[in-house]
Structure 1
């Protein structure tokens, strides 16, 4: 440890938590770790980390505690009997924005300062300059601990609302998971036609890379609420989605996800937007649907 090292505690030693602790050990910080189940801290202990017997003990060991657990409920369970007075909690667990706000209030009632974070990389990306973390919560708390947090990844402060970091993070996850599911769907159709994932990978990468151009082109018009079907028309897009759906159906693979897409585009046409841009679908999506299971917990 260097002479200016500060103590950092890490609660939760899944792949992300272990990577966080490793970054701080590399930087010469005194690191205390805790995990509910045993056996995940061996390598960290061998490198000089300290094992806390309880989560409460881990919080007591450092002014700054990073939490990497499955969700907000797990955080409350782990820290239920901890003295949080004067401590700083940075919750880097994934959860819904409303839960981030609820935990921030819970932490404040117990005397802690609280920041929410959304980590925009996998564990291997931590400690690398190209990686980033959304952060929100009290600005003075963020600024006081920014140098330590920036060791993990470049922090992108999104404001005082503790839910905003999770809003931005989950928006990225909307894009990520729908893209990954789309890739799996394409692979299933490819395999049904005698192709492999490797066969279609160059084309999948090209499509993924080109999406940024579509987003950049559409965003200004969307924000201006202009949906003229100049470059593309919703009716044309709906026909294309139908072709995708029937290609999958003819291949004998599951079409549930594609059916949902086709239904959305049909609704847009039936609502009278066939000559407009497909961005009209945003209005249909915002009009609402039954809440997802667990939403607003």
Structure 2
């Protein structure tokens, strides 16, 4: 028996196995192409000939494979009693819930994990990993898992929540970055160096943080009356920006989408409402029945 088994020796899986070995854990490794485990074996890992052998070798099984169905197909058909499966596949929350059901039916425990960093950041302060799923599995193995990243979050017993948090991060950051590229293209159309424009965006982060705090308060109170500024101010500003960018030949899709969302919120909540009214419009009657911090496991 070893302390941990890691299935999948792509860059991320290999980085996890290497970190665990360096941290003093005994590790079993498996990969469909066995030669990909050679470097880990040289570091002291035990190579398993089959996925089932790897799963049987350890009380905690970390899977770093493409797709939830791939993981499900590798699980034993008889029993996972006494084992926790920690899965880092990318997919939808519903897939995490289904795989958790498969693992639990076999008597095992399931944790879903989302890695928000590059392989070379595993085990460093810059690493960030989020988990959700079995509370008892987290109680037993959380210390080992927390050592894999400087920022570790356990969101509770619902298996799909880690995946949701990953989607939330992408939904926030990707449109923001796309809008930054649109703004840089607009700056360049007026002769302003795009490099300087992009670097300067970071200066606005404190203001964005203040705005997010205000929006969180509005959403938490289900109070969409204006706090920092009214919807018509936001809408007039971004609509004017979109018009100017379009005139400059910039296909500002992200900026245009923001203008449309603000316009729709004004139709539903009025011009004097807060920017948080966008959330109120999207959630409708459900907006006042959210899970609060104190309700979360």
What TM-score do you get using the length of structure 2 for normalisation? 0.83
User: For 2:217, what is the secondary structure of its paired residue?
Assistant: helix
Q: Secondary structure at the match of 2:27?
A: strand
What residue number does 2:112 align with?
116
**Contact 1:158-1:164 at 8 Å conserved across structures:** yes
Map residues 32-71 of structure 1 onto 2, 5 A cutoff: 32-37=28-33, 40-71=36-67
Q: Secondary structure at the match of 2:85?
A: strand
For residues 253 and 43 of structure 1, what CA distance do their matches in structure 2 show? 49
Are positions 1:162 and 2:159 aligned together? Answer: yes
Q: 5 Å matches for 1:192-207?
A: 192-207=189-204
| 1:19 to 1:181, Cα distance in 2 relative to 1, 3 A | farther
Which of residues 214, 223, 231 is equivalent to 1:234? Answer: 231
* 1:96 aligned partner: 92
State the SS of the aligned residue for 1:278: coil
Query: Structure 2: which 5+ runs fail to align?
Result: 286-297
Which stretch of the first structure deviates more once superposed, 97-106 or 163-172? 163-172
Change in CA separation of 1:195 and 1:287 when aligned onto 2, cut-off 3 Å: same
Determine the structure 2 residue equivalent to 1:294. none
- C-alpha displacement of 1:209: 4.5
1:184 and 1:41 map into 2 onto residues whose CA distance is 40
The whole-number CA distance in structure 1 between the counterparts of 2:112 and 2:137 is 11
Provide the C-alpha distance between the structure 2 equivalents of 1:204 and 1:286, rounded to a whole number of angstroms.
30
Unaligned runs of 5+ residues in structure 1 are: 289-297
Cα distance in 1 for residues equivalent to 2:156 and 2:275: 32
| 1:182 equivalent in alignment to 2:141 | no
Does residue 149 in structure 1 map to residue 141 in structure 2? no
**Total equivalences in the alignment:** 284
In structure 2, do the counterparts of structure 1 residues 47 and 192 end up closer, same or farther at CA, with 3 Å as the change threshold? farther
What residue in structure 1 maps to residue 278 of structure 2? Answer: 281
In structure 2, relative to structure 1, the CA distance for the partners of 1:42 and 1:82 (3 Å cut) is farther
Q: Which residue in 2 is equivalent to 1:8?
A: 4
Q: Provide the TM-score with structure 1 as the length reference.
A: 0.83
CA distance in 2, matches of 1:122, 1:209: 26
Deviations 1:9-44 (A, max 9, x none): 112233322221121011122222233456644433
> 1:152 deviation in Å?
0.6
Conserved? CA contact 1:71–1:94, under 8 Å: yes
Aligned twin of 1:270 = 267
Question: Is the alpha carbon distance of 1:80 and 1:206 closer, same or farther for their aligned partners in structure 2, counting shifts above 3 Å?
Answer: farther
The 1-side partners of 2:226 and 2:280 are apart by 15
- Cα distance between partner residues in 1 of 2:177 and 2:81: 42
CA 1:284–1:165: 2 relative to 1, 3 Å = same
User: SS of 1:135's equivalent?
Assistant: strand
Partner of 1:19: 15
Q: Alpha-carbon deviation of 1:100?
A: 1.3
Q: What's the offset of the Cα at 1:236? A: 1.1
Q: 1:56 to 1:188 in 2, by over 3 A?
A: farther
Residue 221 (structure 1) aligns with: 218
Shift of 1:228: 1.9
The question of whether the paired residues in 1 share the 8 Å contact of 2:214 and 2:227 is answered with no
